[in-house]
Chain A
């Protein structure tokens, strides 16, 4: 829960772990590879054993269902890697959904209303970012506050009513697929954003700064990373993307309500953590996160086809989440019990740390 400070010992140990194995081992034996392998295994298993899983509609609905989570997972990954957290994303979704409805109801066309909703998301993200980055308040507390605040504004604006009148051509856009394929249209903006965020995280100075902040934000500050600005930008991005997900959500279900997307924040965070991002920051990669989201989506979709209720899906997701964080510790502990390993790692009272830090 201490989102920031990990003991420095963990970071010094990882320097060795990173170069203690040949390249192929370092690339293949990572959390991300494990998640991707598990995802592929589940897909293969489901295709063979679950009736209708390879049917034409499954893929479409699967992708449509996980699209909001995929979208929000992108900025959330970056935020968690800096060691912060954003719990207000679902409330921003709800707020942008309500604003879209209210503006459209007031006679604006969908694109204008959508732009205004996106701007509102930007403002929400900027409020989070300002309080966290420049005032220096803990993100967990701030975003619990804004979770209530944004949701409260959304519910306050519409009360218990819902706006369901949307121009058909735009509503269709949210449910249509690309040409003849089974891939929904929303995947196009998602892929664009996914590429953009991956480049930003893995192939830019800004991205290296994100990792540095997560490992030690004071050190990052001294190496010239503008810590406050980086965090501020990330929270603004999170607000805008959440608002976009809210607009998609509204158009897909054709209804703007104050309680739209309640509880999505925990789903997004669960998926991101499952994908191998450390809650302490400084570790995680984009492909692992995307595999994590798809994994949860495939499991729930396959179980639904098997007519297993959503409860069991909840249990499985929870177990996966717990297992994903304790497995490295358990493996490390088991490893240290072996006499040979124990002598090779003399100073490691916490061998879990270097086992858990594969690949940055």
Chain B
């Protein structure tokens, strides 16, 4: 999807007029070749190669990083929760907004899961997960209404709800915490069970990723999210249902954070007051590393998902590469900076190419 990279705030004129010249070009190539070029040039591929390189390096140093059953499971299982958050975050960022409250939403629903099982031990697991999804969606709806209808910046609103939701969670939970003993065994097994060698949580996260990714890629609503992100005013003038779409994006982000909360409880079995503290910035970082531009209108959830995998995998790979894991955050920071600088370089090259093709036509 590298062609979306040109939808940057800068130098509109040259790109718009050159767009016509470029639109004709791909049709000369065969569809397979076109698809191949798209994949080869995509921003996602570069980040995927970094991920592969890290995995290969870590595996060469230490076989069990990937090939022991434990290593394989951790490799797939650990990123699944961040992946859900990153997918929701990417959708919101594509509309040129941001959702900082996801960590607090996740904490609230993680506690809700435990509470429900304590109060109603015989509740079916599906009902509990559905309740978390709904509750998360409701919290996302609050953000969405404030952003879409009150017309205030998402950064401020979600910073506010970050505090509010976290405060509600802490007040509700008080000093008690949820322990594995409070939870039904089948629910905990959900967090560790594997199907054909792939953990169930990972399958769930990948299904969500596929659905959201496909929707953004092909559906009208998904394309409209990109349109809103690349130019909100133009989207209004064009007659797109901007408010409804923004609302939907925030509800989706909230619902996915809610799901992540339920899965967190299933995976780790304990819920303390520090669940999801600071994870909102990790979700934003995953999206940014994966090529979702912070000013909206470009990037894919696939990229965000690979970004989430990369963040979590680096964390685990550093010790096997002989670097103390205290340095993990420094590496992540350098990676984020590298990713945005790379984006800028690619965008500049793209703009130059477009300008050239315009001059020659």
Residues of B within 8 A of A153 (CB): 327, 330
Given A314-B164, A322-B146, do A152 and B152 touch, yes or no (CB 8 Å)?
Answer: no
CB of B82 within 8 Å of the partner chain: no
CB of A189 within 8 Å of the partner chain: no
In the complex, which of the residues B98, B163, B284, B327 contacts A156, with contact meaning CB atoms closer than 8 Å? B327
Q: Is the CB of B170 within 8 A of A321?
A: no
In the complex, which of the residues A5, A315, A325 contacts B153, with contact meaning CB atoms closer than 8 Å? A325
B67 shortest CB reach to chain A, Å: 29
A82 shortest CB reach to chain B, Å: 15
Secondary structure type dominating chain B contacts: helix
Residues of A within 8 A of B160 (CB): 270, 318-319, 321-322, 325
CB of A7 within 8 Å of the partner chain: yes
Q: Is the CB of A148 within 8 A of B97?
A: no
| Alpha-carbon distance between A7 and B332 when the two chains are bound, in angstroms | 35
Nearest neighbor of A8 in chain B, beta-carbon distance: B233
Nearest neighbor of A136 in chain B, beta-carbon distance: B344
Q: Is the CB of B333 within 8 A of A147?
A: yes
CB of B270 within 8 Å of the partner chain: no
CB of A329 within 8 Å of the partner chain: yes
Q: Is the CB of A1 within 8 A of B153?
A: yes
**What's the tally of chain A residues with a CB closer than 8 Å to chain B?**
58
In the complex, which of the residues B155, B161, B285 contacts A148, with contact meaning CB atoms closer than 8 Å? B285
Nearest neighbor of B335 in chain A, beta-carbon distance: A145
Given A159-B324, A322-B160, do A145 and B151 touch, yes or no (CB 8 Å)?
Answer: no
Interface-facing stretch out of B42-50, B188-196, B288-296: B288-296
CB of B167 within 8 Å of the partner chain: yes
CB of A151 within 8 Å of the partner chain: yes
In the complex, which of the residues B152, B284, B329, B344 contacts A326, with contact meaning CB atoms closer than 8 Å? B152
CB of B278 within 8 Å of the partner chain: yes
Secondary structure type dominating chain A contacts: helix
| Alpha-carbon distance between A7 and B98 when the two chains are bound, in angstroms | 19
CB of A187 within 8 Å of the partner chain: no
Q: Is the CB of B337 within 8 A of A142?
A: yes
| Alpha-carbon distance between A312 and B170 when the two chains are bound, in angstroms | 9
Q: Is the CB of B167 within 8 A of A312?
A: yes
Residues of A within 8 A of B341 (CB): 131, 135, 137
In the complex, which of the residues B152, B166, B171, B296 contacts A329, with contact meaning CB atoms closer than 8 Å? B152
A213 shortest CB reach to chain B, Å: 15
CB of B123 within 8 Å of the partner chain: no
A36 shortest CB reach to chain B, Å: 20
Nearest neighbor of B165 in chain A, beta-carbon distance: A318
1/0 contact string of B277-305 vs chain A (CB within 8 Å) = 11001001100100000111000000000
A336 shortest CB reach to chain B, Å: 13
In the complex, which of the residues B157, B159, B281, B335 contacts A269, with contact meaning CB atoms closer than 8 Å? B159
CB of A238 within 8 Å of the partner chain: no
Residues of B within 8 A of A2 (CB): 96, 153, 232, 295-296
Q: Is the CB of B156 within 8 A of A318?
A: no
CB of A52 within 8 Å of the partner chain: no
Given A2-B295, A2-B296, A148-B285, do A279 and B153 touch, yes or no (CB 8 Å)?
Answer: yes
Nearest neighbor of B344 in chain A, beta-carbon distance: A137
Given A152-B331, A156-B324, do A142 and B340 touch, yes or no (CB 8 Å)?
Answer: yes
Given A1-B153, A2-B296, do A156 and B326 touch, yes or no (CB 8 Å)?
Answer: yes
| Alpha-carbon distance between A148 and B340 when the two chains are bound, in angstroms | 14
Residues on B close to A: CB < 8 A? 9-10, 96-98, 100, 146, 150-157, 159-168, 170-171, 232-233, 277-278, 281, 284-285, 288, 294-296, 324, 326-337, 340-341, 344
What are 22 of the A-B contact pairs (CB < 8 Å)? A87-B281, A131-B337, A137-B340, A138-B295, A140-B155, A141-B340, A142-B340, A145-B285, A146-B333, A149-B337, A155-B329, A263-B277, A266-B162, A270-B159, A311-B166, A311-B171, A312-B167, A314-B167, A315-B164, A318-B162, A325-B157, A326-B146
Instruction: Sort A-B residue pairs by CB-CB distance and give the 3 closest, nearest first.
Output: A149-B333, A152-B330, A152-B329
